[in-house]
Structure 1
Amino acid sequence: MYNGSCLCGAVSIMVTGDLPQPDACHCTQCRKQTGHYFASTDVPESALTIDGEEHVRWYPSSEKVRRGFCGTCGSTLFWDPIHHHKIAVAMGVFDGATGTTLWSHIFVADKGDYYKIEDGVLQKDQ
């Protein structure tokens, strides 16, 4: 079981089961939402419990995806592909160690020009 919360604590989460390895998305939308790139892990919706869900605000960033954040403190929480059974949980939400390692960088063609990806992890243009 993995626990986490937003910055102010209005939203807390619990993920049961194993955490899949996270990826880091460098697309323009993720960079604008988070201020850098978005590291997240895709978990089955059935494995995610959200306490304080009334504080989660959803932004429809496209016809297929919505992005969740805390309406109180603004913390980035979720990337949710609508009509799928998985939801991406921001790695920064988790309290303590997760025991995972980054497995890929995606949309690297869109990354900011102010940093380099030099960690030896798989890189994909999409």
Structure 2
Amino acid sequence: MTKGACLCGDITFATGARPQGASMCHCGQCRKQSGGIWSSAYVKDDDLTISGPVSWFEASPQAKRGFCARCGSYLFWKAHNEDTTSFSLGAIESPSGLKIEKHIFVGDKGDFYDIADGVAQQD
């Protein structure tokens, strides 16, 4: 079971499914919302239980982002045309047993760091 929560604990989530696609996103939207890189994995919507008052922000015509209005934790990313939801790896309880599989949107990454872990990179 993978469980997570926001910083204040108002929002919790859990899944019994194995999270997929563990990645680190370097896009400008994630950078602005998280302050840097946002790491996430996803599961099918039917396999994810979310409790608490998630605030959703329509960041683009393609997707929305879920966060806690009380503490500001950025927890979820949901494409409008997909049946999966991504959740923040930073919000889950350890140990997760997950390993980052890829870096995404590296063409938009900040200029203040390098990616030097040898993991696959995608623009």
For normalisation by structure 2, the TM-score amounts to 0.96
RMSD: 0.8
Contact 1:41–1:89 (Cα < 8 Å) also in 2: yes
Aligned residue among 105, 108, 112 for 1:107:
105
Deviation >2 Å, runs of 4+: none
Q: CA deviation at 1:81?
A: 0.3
Alignment length (residue pairs): 123
Q: Tell me which amino acid in the other structure corresponds to 2:29.
A: Q
Instruction: After TM superposition, list the pairs within 5 Å mapping 1:1-126 onto structure 2.
Output: 1-52=1-52, 55-125=53-123
Contact 1:21–1:100 (Cα < 8 Å) also in 2: no
> What is the rounded CA distance, in whole Å, between the counterparts of 1:44 and 1:5 in structure 2?
18
Q: Tell me which amino acid in the other structure corresponds to 1:47.
A: D
Q: Tell me which amino acid in the other structure corresponds to 1:96.
A: S
Contact 1:19–1:98 (Cα < 8 Å) also in 2: no
> What is the rounded CA distance, in whole Å, between the counterparts of 2:21 and 2:65 in structure 1?
20
> What is the rounded CA distance, in whole Å, between the counterparts of 1:72 and 1:16 in structure 2?
27
Contact 1:21–1:101 (Cα < 8 Å) also in 2: no
> What is the rounded CA distance, in whole Å, between the counterparts of 1:103 and 1:118 in structure 2?
14
Contact 2:14–2:48 (Cα < 8 Å) also in 1: yes
> What is the rounded CA distance, in whole Å, between the counterparts of 2:99 and 2:6 in structure 1?
21
Q: Tell me which amino acid in the other structure corresponds to 1:15.
A: T
Corresponding residue SS for 2:82:
coil
**Which structure 2 segments of 5+ residues have no match?**
none
Corresponding residue SS for 2:4:
strand
Contact 2:17–2:43 (Cα < 8 Å) also in 1: no
Q: CA deviation at 1:21?
A: 3.9
**Which structure 1 segments of 5+ residues have no match?**
none
Corresponding residue SS for 1:57:
strand
> What is the rounded CA distance, in whole Å, between the counterparts of 1:32 and 1:19 in structure 2?
25
For normalisation by structure 1, the TM-score amounts to 0.94
